[in-house]
A and B are shown apart, each in its own frame.
Chain A
Amino acid sequence: MQSISRRKFLKISGATVSLAAAAGYALHADGSHESSKGKIKGIQKIPTYCDICFWKCGAIAYLKDGELWKIEGNPEDPLSRGRLCPRGTGGIGAHSDPDRLRSPLIRRQNRGEEVWQEVTWDEAFAYIAEKMQTIKANYGPEAVALFSHGIGGNFLKHTMKAFGTPNIAAPSFAQCRGPRDVGFRLTFGEDVSSPERTDIMNAKCIVLIGSHLGENMHNTQVQEFADAIQNRASIIVVDPRYSVAASKAKWYLPIKPGTDLALLLAWMNVIVSEGLYDKDYVGKYGFGFEQFAAEISSSTPEWAYPETGIEPEVIRETAREMARYKPATLVHPGRHVTWNGDDAQRSRAIALLNALLGSWGRKGGFYYPVSMDVPAYPYPEYPKTTKPKVDNPDHKYPFAHETITTGIREATLTGKPYPVKGWFVYATNLIHALPNEEETIRAIQNLDLFVVVDVIPSEIAGWADVVLPESVYLERHEDLNVEWFRDPFIALRQPVIESPHDQKPNWWIAKRLAQQLGLGNYFPWNHIEDYFRQRLSGAGYDYEELKSKGIIRGKKQPNYFDEGVPAEFPTPSGKIEFYSLQLQKAGFDPVPKYTPPEPNPPGSFRLLYGRAPVHSFSRTHTNRILSDMMDENEVWVNADIAARLGLRNAAYVTLKNQDGIVSNKVKVKVTERIRPDCVYLVHGFGHTSKALKHAYRKGASDAQLITRYKTDPLMGGTGMNMNFVTIEPAEA
Chain B
Amino acid sequence: MARFGMVIDTAKCVGCMDCVVACKTENNVPEGFNRDWIVQDAKGVFPTVHMEIRTERCNHCDTPPCVYCCPTGASHVHELGGVVLVDHTMCIGCKACLASCPYDARFIHPDGYADKCTFCIHRVEKGMDTACVSVCPTRCMYFGDLDDPHSEVTRLLGSRASHSLIPEAGTKPQIFYLT
Contacts from A to B (Cβ < 8 Å): 69-73, 80, 83-86, 89-90, 92, 213-215, 217, 219, 222-223, 225-226, 229-230, 242, 244-248, 252, 254, 613-614, 624-626, 628-630, 638-640, 671-676
Q: Which 6 A-B pairs have the closest CB atoms?
A: A214-B14, A226-B138, A254-B47, A613-B16, A70-B25, A247-B51
Q: When A and B form their complex, what is the total count of cross-chain residue pairs whose Cβ atoms lie within 8 Å?
A: 126
Q: How far is the CA of A284 from the CA of B11 in the complex (A)?
A: 39
B15/A629 in contact, CB under 8 A: no
Stretch of B58-66, B98-106, B129-137 lying at the A interface: B129-137
Residues facing A in B7-50 (CB within 8 A) are: 9, 11-12, 14-18, 20-22, 24-26, 31-32, 42, 44-47, 49-50
- Indicate whether B53 reaches chain A with its CB closer than 8 angstroms: yes
A-B pairs with beta carbons under 8 Å apart, 20 shown: A73-B135, A84-B18, A86-B16, A90-B24, A90-B25, A92-B25, A213-B14, A214-B15, A214-B16, A215-B14, A222-B14, A222-B137, A230-B11, A247-B52, A252-B49, A614-B17, A625-B31, A626-B21, A629-B21, A672-B49
A226 near B17 with CB under 8 A, answer no
A674 with B138: CB separation less than 8 A:
no
Cβ B46 vs Cβ A672 within 8 A:
yes
For the complex, would chain B's binding face be called helix, strand, loop or mixed by DSSP majority?
Answer: mixed
- A217 in contact with B25 given A72-B134, A83-B136 (CB within 8 Å): no
Evaluate whether A86 and B20 lie within 8 angstroms (CB atoms) in the complex, with A223-B137, A244-B53, A673-B42 already known: yes
Report chain A residues within 8 Å CB of B12: 226, 229-230
- Judge whether B47 and A89 touch: CB under 8 Å: no
Contact A674:B46 (CB < 8 A) given known A217-B16, A613-B16, A625-B21: yes
The smallest C-beta distance from B26 to any residue of chain A, in angstroms, reads 6
Q: Are B46 and A89 in contact (CB under 8 A)?
A: no
Q: A223-B139, A672-B42 are in contact. Are A70 and B50 (CB under 8 A)?
A: no
- Chain A residues near B21: list those with CB within 8 A: 86, 89-90, 614, 625-626, 629
Q: Is the beta-carbon distance between B50 and A89 smaller than 8 angstroms?
A: no
Cβ 8 A contact of A673, one of B15, B17, B49, B138: B49
A639 CB contacts on chain B under 8 angstroms: 45-46
Q: Say yes or no: B16 contacts A226, CB within 8 Å.
A: no
Q: A719 to B117: give the CA distance in the assembly, Å.
A: 46
Q: Tell me the residues in window 55-78 of chain B with beta carbons closer than 8 Å to chain A beta carbons.
A: none
B140 at the A interface (CB under 8 A): yes
Apart from A230-B139, A247-B50, A628-B24, 6 more pairs, CB < 8 Å: A70-B26, A84-B18, A84-B137, A86-B20, A222-B138, A638-B46
A458–chain B nearest beta-carbon distance, Å: 22
Who on chain A is nearest to B34 by CB? A628
With beta carbons under 8 angstroms apart, the residue of B11, B14, B26, B31 that contacts A624 is B31
Query: Which among B44, B137, B139 has the greatest number of chain A C-beta atoms within 10 A?
Result: B137
Q: Tell me which of A89, A245, A625, A674 has the highest count of chain B C-beta atoms within 10 A of its own C-beta.
A: A89
A625 to B140, CA, bound (A): 23
Contacting pair B53 A89 (CB below 8 A): no
* A707 to B: closest C-beta gap in Å: 28
B27's nearest neighbour on chain A, judged by CB, is A70
Find chain A residues with CB under 8 A from B49 CB: 242, 246-247, 252, 672-673
**A638 partner residues in chain B, CB cutoff 8 A:** 46
User: Does A675 contact B25, Cβ atoms closer than 8 Å?
Assistant: no
B135 with A83: CB separation less than 8 A = yes
CB atoms of B14 and A613 under 8 A apart? yes
Decide: A628 and B32 in contact? CB cutoff 8 A.
yes
- Would A242 and B51 count as touching, CB distance under 8 A? yes
Given A70-B25, A613-B14, A625-B24, A84-B46 contact (CB < 8 Å) = no
B51 to chain A: which residues have CB within 8 Å?
A: 242, 244, 247, 673
- Of B16, B24, B53, B139, the contact of A85 (CB 8 Å cutoff): B16
Q: Are B18 and A247 in contact (CB under 8 A)?
A: no
Residues in chain B near residue A628, CB distance under 8 A: 24, 31-32
Residues of B within 8 A of A214 (CB): 14-16
Chain A CB count within 10 A is highest, among B21, B31, B44, B51, for: B21
Also in contact, A222 and B11, with CB within 8 A (given A83-B135, A639-B46): no
| Complex contact B135–A72 (CB within 8 A) | yes
Look across to chain B and name the residue whose beta carbon is closest to the beta carbon of A81.
B137
Residues on A with beta carbons closer than 8 Å to the beta carbon of B50: 247
Which residues in B have their C-beta under 8 angstroms from that of A614? 16-17, 21
Q: A226, A626, A629: which contacts B140 (Cβ < 8 A)?
A: A226
Are A71 and B16 touching (Cβ within 8 A)?
A: no
A224 to B44, CA, bound (A): 29
How many angstroms from the CA of A242 to the CA of B42 in the assembled complex? 10
**Min C-beta distance of A237 to chain B, whole Å:** 11
The one of A71, A86, A254 that contacts B46, using a Cβ cutoff of 8 Å: A254
